[in-house]
Amino acid sequence: MTLRTLGCGEVTPEHYGTEQTFAGWVHNLRAKGNIAFLDLRDRTGTVQFVLLKKKLADSAPGLFESLTDLSDESAVSITGLVQASEKAKAGFEVLPTAGTVLNKAQTPLPMALWDEDIHTGLDTRLDHRFLDVRTPRAAAIFRIRSEVLRAGRDYFHAHGFSEITTSNIIAASSEGGTDTYKVDWFGKECFLSQSPQLYKQMMMASGMDRVFEIARYFRAEKHNTVRHLNESTAFDLELAWVESEEDVMQVIEGLLHAIWKHVAETCTAELEALGADVPVPALPFRRVRYEEALQIVNDRAGDRLDKALAFGDDIGTEAEKILGEAMQEEGHDFYFITKWPLAPKPFYVMPEPTDDGTVDQDARLCRGFDLDYRGVELISGAQRIHDPELLEAGIVRWGLDPKDFEDYLEAFRYGMPPHGGCGIGIERILMQMLGLGNIREAILFPRDLDRVTP
């Protein structure tokens, strides 16, 4: 038996007068004596069935009773005759001829799905995520997420990148520090990867000089904010034969322009459901040097900061907002912050050469950058170090042992080209693009300090 020949939202006048089979969830059921109206819903939309008790008693005994006994959100397959109707809002209705109850939903539902007067908290929605994604808001978010991934992959493939998959189990922390999850790997201490950073760089010595990955990040940071997750996903990219970090930034702005354009053009219904405005950004994006960013923030901060920012300070959450406001006044949603201090950057970030061309770990600045969108950081990237001796010095600067990175360092001893890359948080993209209040809305099963289920 065929459970579905047509989506609930796919009926056109061409289907009038034909028999079709629909499958979905009972969205609404209204029974009035010998007549009932059943709205069935699937991912494509809804369709209304008109059940006439007397007519069905002859043609399909028991069908009226079976369908009118259903609870909301029950799964059912119904075959019926599609016919035009001036009374129906959709211009047609379906008269059922057969039906199969696939799974009757328990009552009551654990959360309200369609009653706009009932506010369901995020924790309850996440506890019952499979139900939450049936709602227009959540469904729209994850349809857009799928299109973001599609647009990203399309852009990379069109620009000579190859998709790779690296291991999430690593022998040494990819970024140093203590924010790692330790794994007992048959008696050996290993870690869940903070990013595919080391593997991406190794690939630059392989001849695959443009690679990307839909990566997973695992970071054991004890935060509990609306902007952070302990497991997240990202577009992670690396490209070789770069002259400076500018080559990487040009790829990034092209990628994000392509993603925003694709979503704006293909997800109009979803954006309308979310009330989201997604203007396509102009190219190129604004470049703001770190020291210029400090000056802009300090000039505008007033009493919003405890103290003025000084060289070497991070640009924290409130300072990011202040800078974002200034950029938006200039007409820039996206902007790079470049030429950061070297000291706080990871060991693999290229120091900025001095005027005489010297490059060493005592440099004041580096070729690292961030990309912010409307006052929130989306990306951190850089030109990487490709000289093995300079790289070992960076590892030592971070208080790490080069012996723990021997497999990684080997790739730099046999002709590693200049290269750079970045990671672009997919949940951050969605949160900022769609104006979501909590990053947990942008991932199906979020993991944080308190949540490891479902």
Measured distance CA(400)–CA(406) in Å, rounded? 12
Q: Are residues 174 and 47 in the same domain?
A: no
Is 233 a member of any domain?
yes
| pLDDT value at residue 118 | 84
| pLDDT value at residue 404 | 87
Buried b (16+ CB within 10 A) or exposed e, 275-301: ebebebbeeebeebebeebbebbbeeb
Where residue 54 sits, what CATH number does that domain have? Answer: 2.40.50.140
Kindly report, residue by residue over 71-123, the tens digit of the pLDDT.
Answer: 999 999 999 999 999 888 899 999 999 999 999 999 999 999 988 778 899 99
* Count of structural domains, the chain: 2
The CA distances from residue 306 to 292, 316, 327, in Å, are 19, 12, 22
| pLDDT value at residue 177 | 55
Q: Give the CA angle between residues 375, 379, 380 to the nearest 5°.
A: 115
Domain's final residue, options 87, 103, 119? 103
Where in 227-367 does DSSP place strands (E)?
Answer: 231-240, 286-289, 334-338
Contacts of 404 (CB under 8 A, 6+ apart): 171, 172
Q: Are residues 205 and 274 in the same domain?
A: yes
Is 321 a member of any domain?
no
Q: Are residues 143 and 49 in the same domain?
A: no
Q: Are residues 79 and 224 in the same domain?
A: no
Distance of CA 32 to the CA centre of its chain: 45
Q: Are residues 62 and 146 in the same domain?
A: no
Q: Are residues 261 and 365 in the same domain?
A: yes
| pLDDT value at residue 87 | 86
Tokens standing for residue 153: 């992959």
Q: Are residues 265 and 405 in the same domain?
A: yes
Q: Is residue 22 within 8 Å of 6, Cβ to Cβ?
A: yes
| pLDDT value at residue 115 | 81
Distance of CA 34 to the CA centre of its chain: 49
Where residue 187 sits, what CATH number does that domain have? Answer: 3.30.930.10
Q: Give me the residues of the chain with pLDDT under 70, please.
A: 1, 173-178
Q: Are residues 95 and 135 in the same domain?
A: no
Is 252 a member of any domain?
yes
Q: Is residue 288 within 8 Å of 317, Cβ to Cβ?
A: no
| pLDDT value at residue 355 | 84
Is 87 a member of any domain?
yes
Q: Is residue 375 within 8 Å of 325, Cβ to Cβ?
A: yes
| pLDDT value at residue 66 | 95
Q: Are residues 77 and 214 in the same domain?
A: no
Q: Are residues 95 and 149 in the same domain?
A: no
C-beta atoms surrounding 123 within 10 Å: 10
Q: Are residues 212 and 270 in the same domain?
A: yes
C-beta atoms surrounding 121 within 10 Å: 9
**Which residue range forms the structural domain that includes residue 81?**
13-103
Is 257 a member of any domain?
yes
173 backbone dihedrals φ, ψ, rounded to 5°: -60, 130
User: Is this structure's pTM higher than 0.75?
Assistant: yes
Measured between alpha carbons, how far apart are the two ends of the chain, in Å? 34
Is 374 a member of any domain?
yes
Q: Are residues 369 and 242 in the same domain?
A: yes
Domain's final residue, options 103, 121, 145? 103
Where in 194-319 does DSSP place strands (E)?
Answer: 210-218, 231-240, 286-289
Is 322 a member of any domain?
no
Is 118 a member of any domain?
no
| pLDDT value at residue 116 | 75
> Strand, coil or helix: what is 355?
coil
